[in-house]
Structure 1
Amino acid sequence: MRILVVGAGAVGGYFGGLLAQAGRDVTFLVRPGRLEFLRSGLVIEQLDRTLRIDVRATTADALDGTYDLVLVTVKSFGLEAAIDDFAPAVGPATTIVPLLNGMRHLDLLQARFGDRVVGGLCFVATHLDGGTVRQLGPLQTVMYGELDGTPTPRIDAVDAALTGAGFDARARSGPDGILQALWEKWFVLAAGGALTTLLGGDVGAIEAAPNGTRTALAIVAECASVAAAAGHEPSAKARASAERTLTAAGSDFTTSLYRDQAAGGEVEAEQILGDLVARADGLGVSVPLLAAADAALEMYRRGRAAS
């Protein structure tokens, strides 16, 4: 199976690099600046070892035909430009698996590529430091499945391509399939992102502050209420895990939304929080804390654009 990994950053570089290390036929689609880094190989610093992997990479103007599987790993705010870049690599039998945050990207991808798009998500804590992808925690999972939960041969083919490559790969089907998993991940991301950016610290610092735990639990409840109103209420296990993670004493847990903001970079505010608040409004669900967090991030984005 020919695999095109769109992006070679913290997510694409990590999973695509491990696939290449495992001998899969992987090509990275990147911008010219990232291509220069990859000419000397991809470096992945895992928790227990450092990998230096020779990889194949190309830019949009040099794509060589269509691919069987396209893994889309760019940040959500870069998706529209990426779609134009990888469109020539999509043929009639191509399967597109996006590993993006939120849900709105599915509408954009399906508008362009129709039913070649399936559901996908990942859980990984990684950071791109120059040319090196650094693993920050042990979780390294990719999930994928048809959006209607049906088991299909193409999902079986994706499963065969991704399993056994050094990370946890899981096909999801049935009523508890990939769509439910996408909503549960969004619920967690939005809760953690809203909490850490609104209060400006890691979970341990927030827990130690007056009303910190109270605020965390209220944000989790707001996120859960939106998901439930949309027909995808988080499981009791998922909600308990989110509450435990976001109220843990002494925890240094943060989110990518918080880390990107702290570094002065572009943030996925619209995709993670803005879209969730808009859906809450459409469903008649009150989410004042999420709205406040979204407004604060919009102020950050305006300030960044003006500087």
Structure 2
Amino acid sequence: MSTERTTDRTARLSGEVTDRTAHLTGEVVDSFQRTADPRLHELLTALTRHLHDFVRETEPTMQEWERAIGFLTATGQMSSDTRQEFILLSDVLGISMLVETINGHRDPGATESTVLGPFHMTQSPVRELGANIDLVGSGEPCVVRGRVLSADGTPLPGAVLDVWQADPEGFYDVQRPDIQPAGNGRGLFTADAEGRFWFRTCLPSPYPIPTDGPVGELLKATDRHPYRPAHIHFIASAAGHAPVTTHIFVAGSAYLDSDAVFAVKESLVQDFAETDDPSLAREFGVANPFRYTHFDLVLETA
């Protein structure tokens, strides 16, 4: 068979395959026509079209597709009551940050949101203002202080702050229950009548996200590091206002410019200065010197 005839046959078959795949996509999309929920119909239709386009573009082999299904299966199997591997996968692919950005607060004065992360999987214990969430006492002492405000600057008394962070070695309590007591690095605080909050902790440090599962295999295969810059997680909420899920990042931390989950925003980077102030030390019940940061969480009106 001549090269010209072979080329013509390949082109004809390619066109036939394209027609068949387009027909298949149409059939699947049409199968959703009776979906009662309009938004669900929109999401399923768009997802189907984009997935089918991805397959047409990349033409995966059967072995590659089976491997992809195996990866997703392993991701689900790695998830548990205290770890969410699918959230971690969403994080490292930048999807979590994309969703946060699309749904972020519109008021330019409000605190910017960022990812939830995979370890908000347990309820933070209720603590009094000023309490120490570092139950192990192994890190550099740190005081965190601030206010919860409405976008117009009005204090929000009774605002609730859910706080969680890793220990100085980069592990959350649920990762090492044999070493950390339950609730270590976590606290649920209620702001005072002037919207103020404060608590003691240890200075957070950079740490790697878990790499012992499918997400770790993905990072290794793509030659990406797993590290996150030092940070503390917050969810702040108040009546009549939209809650915000955010972090504060330690200024000068490693990996601020290469966060494994793409979550750093410049407005969330805070100075944790070393302080040797006897009056502050007495006020907070810590020994000098210690790290100190002050920042406000600003919520948008709902």
The TM-score by the shorter chain falls in which range? under 0.3
Higher fraction of helix: 1
Work out which structure has the larger RCO, using CA pairs closer than 8 Å and 6 or more positions apart in sequence.
2
Please report the TM-score for the alignment, with normalisation by the length of structure 1.
0.23
TM-score w.r.t. structure 2 length? 0.23
**Largest Rg, 1 or 2:** 2
